[in-house]
Copies of this chain bind each other. A is one copy, B any other.
Amino acid sequence: MTRDEIRTITKVPEPTLRRLPWYLAFVKLLRGKGETVISSTQISKEINVDSSQVAKDLSFVNVTGKTRVGYEIDALVEELEDFLGFTSSHKAFLFGVGSLGAALLHDTGLKQYGLDIVAGFDVRPELEGQMINGIPVYHIDRFPEMREQLGATIGVITVPVDRAQEVADQIIAGGIKGLWNFTPFRIRVPENIVIQNTSMYAHLAVMFNRLNSINH
């Protein structure tokens, strides 16, 4: 069985997938300091996740810890990056080159984590033909043609709220399989489509509320 086949059969729980990048960030930090081995107990202490949970999360990844020694850091970094998809390049289109959309086109960190935004799309004719951080912007009408040419399967949604569902429907019809939704709108998608919501403004709401509580 290939790794991909194993991944398909054992569905990795979403909380595990969300915790693994924390472990990766931490072990990369240790590697930078010249450390070579790490135990799940050490990870657990640092990350504040139960150590049996850490071991369980890591059991999805192709690494084996040695009793009383732990995991080899080099192997752990490599396997985690590979497992999380950060070492592959995933082509993406970005829809809505407004303030947040243009900001994300500027973020080269996304590419380091495996997301390669190859084009931006917008309805405003004045944006057509612009380059942002080396990424071309097209009118949304050219999406089917560019999708054919560039073969992206992921769509980053940074359009205004009132266009979110409409744009999502349109790009799913055009062959996009995964949506990364930055709008606060709850986009509905068919079952075979993957959607991740990054609700930055919801995080702000939580922070404002909690700050308000500690101030009184």
Contact = CB atoms under 8 A, between A and B. Distances in A.
A48 B7 CA distance: 28
A71 interface: no
Number of this chain's copies in the assembly equals 2
B47 A186 contact: yes
Interface in A20-34: 20-22, 24-26, 28-29, 32
Nearest to A46: B186
A214 interface: yes
Contact of A85 (B24, B85, B209, B214): B209
Q: How large is the interface on A (under 10, 10 to 19, 20 to 34, 35 or more residues)?
A: 35 or more
Contacts of A104: 103
Q: Which 10 A-B pairs have the closest CB atoms?
A: A85-B208, A103-B103, A25-B184, A84-B205, A194-B210, A8-B216, A21-B202, A99-B108, A18-B202, A103-B106
